[in-house]
Amino acid sequence: MNNMRLTERAVQATDTKITARKVQVHYGASHAIKDVDIDILDKTVTAFIGPSGCGKSTFLRCLNRMNDTIAICRVEGAILLDGEDIYDKKVDPVQLRARVGMVFQKPNPFPKSIYDNVAYGPKIHGLVRNKAELDEVVESALRKAALWNEVKDRLNAPGTGLSGGQQQRLCIARAVATSPEVLLMDEPCSALDPIATAQVEELIDELRANFSVVIVTHSMQQAARVSQRTAFFHLGNLVEFGETGQIFTNPRDPRTESYITGRIG
């Protein structure tokens, strides 16, 4: 563990961005998430870890209502973003998702140019008034995603032509371009090689300055490297949630310990 970061962490603990209370998720007959309570802090990286099928991705998708697109999925309980229930009837998921962005497991750039990929969000949400502003937004998003220097000469090349790591950073730039408050990342590095992984991890650490980041990961090392807080899910339950250092060095629950030491997983 990096001691310097541990100290930094204490300083950064700020206000709560997302509050979840008694969240239940059903997929048809199966009960995928049971009674999850969690507080996600602003300007912090929160990692969800746990064995396959433990519900961590499902829970992540609840946070921007991506589960709405699956017909048989049912969500109960309360999830509050800045104190407002995102499952309230009055809430338009379109508006919600503009504030809670998401990056997926496999890079999924649209079959458009690099520029258009990044400009997509600002355009549909009407965040810019003219082309000059849009150019500015695109550039700043690409810079935030640490991709600008690699693509600035070929903004009109198709996004699908980039390498895997570049594609994933392009997807991050695309998500960042709408300046969301929360950025959800669903195993963003699982389809990438080690070098690209390192670049993306470094990027996540930088993104923390502006956003609240929630990352689902399979790799405990990655959770330890990038996150300040870690939640351990097991069989649909949130088993333990706390400071990353504490989870990895001094887990309270025996199941967490078993997972971390490699006995279950």
Partner 1 sequence: MTMVETPAPRSLYTADARTKARNAAEKRFRIYGIAAVAIGLLALVVLLSSVLGSGLGAFRQSVLSLPITLDAKALDPKGHRDPAEMAKATTVTYGKLITKALEAVVIEKNLAPGMKSKQIGELISKEAPAGLRDMVLANPSLVGTTITYDVLASGRVDGFFKGRVTMESAALDSNISPEQLQLADKLRAEGMLKLAFNPGFLTNPDASELRPESAGLGVAILGSIYMMVIVLCLALPIGVAASIYLEEFAPKNRFTDLIEVNVANLAAVPSIVYGILGLAAFINFAGMPQSSPLVGALVLTLMTLPRIIIPTRAALNAVPPSIREAALGVGASKTQTIFHHVLPLAVPGILTGAIIGLAQALGETAPLLLIGMVAFVKDYPGAPPEGVLDPASAIPVQIYNWTQRADPAFVERASGAIIVLLVFLLVMNSLAVILRRKFERRW
Partner 2 sequence: MTPGLLALIVLALACGGFFLGRFRALQMVGKDLRLLHSLPGYYGQTVALFTGVPALALMAVWLLVQPIVIETRISSMIPEADLPQGSSRDLVMADVRRIAYGLDTILARGAMSEASLSEMRADLSDIRSRMADVGVALGADVQPSVFEAAKAWRHTTGLARVGMTAATLAVALAGFGFATFRIRPEFRARNVSETFLRWLLIAASLVAIGTTIGIVLSLVFQTVHFFQLYPAQEFFFSLTWNPKFGGGSELSIWPLVWGTLYVSAIALAVAVPVGLFAAIYLAEYASKKVRGIAKPLLEVLAGIPTIVYGLFALITVGPLLRDWVAQPLGLGSSSSSVMTAGLVMGVMIIPFVSSLSDDIINAVPQSLRDGSFAMGATQSETVKQVILPAALPGIVGAILLAASRAIGETMIVVLGAGAAAKLSMNPFEAMTTVTVKIVSQLTGDTEFASPETLVAFALGLTLFVFTLVLNVLALVIVRKYREQYE
5 vs 125, which CB is nearer to partner 1? 125
With 0-12 CB in 10 A as exposed, 13-18 as middle and 19+ as buried, what is 209? exposed
Taking contact as CB under 8 A, which single stretch among the options 4-12, 73-81, 101-109, 223-231 is the one that binds partner 2?
A: 101-109
Taking contact as CB under 8 A, which single stretch among the options 18-26, 145-153, 173-181, 211-219 is the one that binds partner 2?
A: 173-181
Q: What residue 136 binds from partner 2, partner 1, none (CB within 5 to 8 A, per partner kind)?
A: partner 1
CA distance 226 to 215: 9
Is 87 a binding residue for partner 2 by CB under 8 A? The answer is no
Give the residue, chosen from 169, 174, 208, 234, that forms a contact with partner 2 under the rule CB under 8 A. 174
Q: What residue 84 binds from partner 2, partner 1, none (CB within 5 to 8 A, per partner kind)?
A: partner 1
Cα separations (Å) of 178 from 20, 99, 182, 200, 230? 24, 8, 11, 19, 26
174 vs 225, which CB is nearer to partner 2? 174
8 Å CB contact between 148 and 115: no
Give the residue, chosen from 112, 148, 210, 243, that forms a contact with partner 2 under the rule CB under 8 A. 112
Cα separations (Å) of 102 from 64, 105, 178, 186, 235? 8, 10, 11, 8, 24
Question: Which letter, b or e, does each residue of 114-125 get, where b requires 16 or more Cβ atoms within 10 Å of its Cβ?
Answer: bbbbbbebbeee
Give the residue, chosen from 121, 165, 236, 251, that forms a contact with partner 2 under the rule CB under 8 A. 121
Q: What residue 128 binds from partner 1, partner 2, none (CB within 5 to 8 A, per partner kind)?
A: partner 1
Residue ranges binding partner 1 (CB under 8 A):
81, 84, 86, 88, 90-92, 94-96, 99, 122, 124-128, 133, 136-137, 140, 143, 179
Residues 6+ apart with CB under 8 A from 10: none
CA distance 81 to 37: 14
Helix (H, G, I), strand (E, B) or coil at 217: coil
Q: What residue 86 binds from partner 1, partner 2, none (CB within 5 to 8 A, per partner kind)?
A: partner 1
List contacts with partner 2 (CB under 8 A): 64, 66, 69, 71, 93-98, 101-104, 106, 108-112, 120-121, 124-125, 171, 174-175, 178, 184
